Amino acid sequence: MEQCKLQIGCLVVVLYIAFNYFWESRRIKKTQRVRMFDNLLITSIFVLVFDGMTAYTINHLDTVPEMVNQVAHLLFLTGLDVVVFLVFLYVLTITEGFPKNRMWCVLLYTPFVLNVLFAIINIGSLEYRKGVITNYSMGPSVYTCFAIVAVYIMITLIIFFRRWNYIERHKRASVILYLFVFSATSIYQMVFPEALLTSLAVTIVIVGIYINQENPAVKELSHYHDEMVMGFATLVEKRDDNTGGHIHRTSLYVELLAKELRKRGYYKEILTKDYIDNLLMAAPMHDIGKISVPDAILQKPGKLTDEEFAIMKSHAEEGGRIIRETFGNLEDRQYMEMAYQVATFHHEKWNGNGYPRHLKEMDIPLCARIMAVSDVFDAVSEKRCYRDAMPMDQCFEIIREGNGKDFEPLLVEVFLDVREKVEVLHDSVTCKTN
């Protein structure tokens, strides 16, 4: 057992993480698990078991049957390939997602599949070598395993740095650290095969991902924060006889529009992971200033007078003031500023005829321009105390007519292009709130 102490120690650590992860995920049912991490965690346990087994069998060749040794090596080598491949897929998942092009998917999977087949075919050609500290194995299956590990580590690092903006700012340093240590340990193992540090590389990447991205307790805190923001915003909305569906729908439209812009390559430097996350948390707060508007005006069934409309319009400036006073002490200054901009400027118009500052075109923050399209569309597509909901065709026509006047032309183009998705979101929330 002397030769597999490291593997046993790493296995204990990963088993502890797995137990805590699945137990907490079961307890905190509202947190979403990333299936790719589930697969990575289970496969890592499998690899550590067979890593320890091969470390033992290779040093007891006189008592361990050759077939047992070969099977253990085959399962370990193919399992290691799977772990590295899943790390690569996980990085894809937490950044921009999988490529939609089928040809790209084939190119990404082909080296992995061919390597596994090659390892199976050549497992009988294992070479056993005696080292200073421990024996170790080489041969075609081992060489190709090292090669594919190197290839996918390189691709993983390239993908990560190319999609740098899709990782939360406060997580980037940690992700770089565990990917670097994972890579360095794997490379050291390739150069010095006697080291048998594979288990350490696997454990480091599991611990790094768990602590930085997949800890259910951390996700629970984030979920509670989002629920509190949504609940407070919905409470404000209900003052004007709204069911709260407006908050949910506009947030979904904002998310759809922002991600579609990023997907098409527009505002890529602005629409980072942090920016979109902050925007989704800020969107429900866009009408928070209505808390200062009297009920008689909010719930008036007829047309507002000029004086009443002036009071109604004050909710934009008032919303920004409330956010500055309420969230001014938050450490996350980016989120506070985003919420302020969404609340204050979501009634500004592309041609400068909006309020409260009469900002024009690019002077209007992008988050507020996105919010404006979503807010107007939902306002006309839902029933209000002073009118019925408009037909869908008319709602989209209003957005089209606002092109270059009320809204940025690019946002109008993209919003109209995703009409089917917008209608699905509208119907899904409306059904829940009715």
- Beta carbons of 81 and 148 less than 8 angstroms apart: yes
**Active-site residue identified among 290, 303, 349, 360:** 290
Averaged pLDDT score across all residues of the chain: 83
Q: Give the pLDDT mean for 178-201.
A: 81
Q: Indicate the pLDDT class of residue 168, thresholds 50, 70 and 90.
A: confident
**For 321-363, how does the pLDDT look when each residue is reduced to its tens digit (9 = 90+)?**
988 887 766 666 788 889 999 999 999 999 999 999 999 999 9
* Nearest-angstrom CA–CA distance, 10 and 17: 11
What is the DSSP pairing of strand 127-129 with strand 136-138? antiparallel
* CB contact at 8 A, 134 and 3: yes
Does the annotation mark 238 as catalytic? Answer: no
Buried b (16+ CB within 10 A) or exposed e, 174-188: bbbebbebbbebbee
Give the per-residue pLDDT at 272.
84
Please give the Cα distance from 422 to 434 (Å, whole number).
18
| Contact (Cβ atoms closer than 8 angstroms) between residue 24 and residue 216 | yes
Distant-in-sequence, close-in-space partners of 127: CB < 8 Å, separation ≥ 6: 137, 138, 139
Whether 267 and 277 have beta carbons less than 8 Å apart is answered as no
**CB proximity list for 175: less than 8 A, separation 6 or greater:** 160, 167, 208, 212, 213
CA dist 185 and 114 (Å) reads 24
Please, which pLDDT band fits residue 133 given cuts at 50, 70 and 90? Answer: confident
**For the chain, which domains are there?**
2-214 (1.20.1070), 218-433 (1.10.3210.10)
Provide, rounded to the nearest whole percent, the portion of the chain with pLDDT above 70: 87
Asked if the model's pLDDT at residue 138 lies above 50, the reply is: yes
Q: Where does residue 103 rank: exposed (0-12), middle (13-18), buried (19+ CB within 10 A)?
A: exposed
* Residue 9 scores a pLDDT above 50: yes
| CA torsion through residues 178, 96, 27, 220, sign | positive
* Residue matched to tokens 């942090």: 274
Span 170-186, average pLDDT: 80
pLDDT band at 125 (very low <50, low <70, confident <90, very high): confident
Q: Is 139 left (phi over 0), alpha (psi -120 to 50) or beta?
A: left
**Tell me: the pLDDT tens digits for 200-223?**
888 988 998 888 878 887 777 666
> Where is pLDDT greater, at 120 or 389?
120
HSE at residue 112, side-chain half, CA atoms within 13 A, is 20
Alpha carbon distance 101, 103 (integer Å) = 5
Q: Per residue in 36-71, pLDDT tens?
A: 888 999 999 999 999 889 888 888 888 888 888 888
Check pLDDT > 70 for residue 385.
no
User: How far, CA to CA in Å, does 267 sit from each of 110, 139, 249, 275, 337?
Assistant: 33, 50, 23, 11, 19
Contact between residue 126 and residue 59 where contact means Cβ atoms under 8 Å apart = no
pLDDT at 174 (0 to 100) = 77
The answer to whether the beta carbons of residues 385 and 312 sit under 8 Å apart is no
Q: What is the mean pLDDT of residues 16-35?
A: 79
Biggest CA pair distance of the chain: 96
**CA 224 distance to own-chain centroid:** 17
Highest mean pLDDT among 4-8, 63-67, 101-105, 258-262: 258-262
Cα gap 198→50, rounded to integer Å: 11
Cα–Cα–Cα angle for 130, 136, 137, rounded to 5 degrees:
115
How far, in Å, CA of 40 to CA of 28, rounded?
A: 21
Tokens 């509670």 appear where? 224
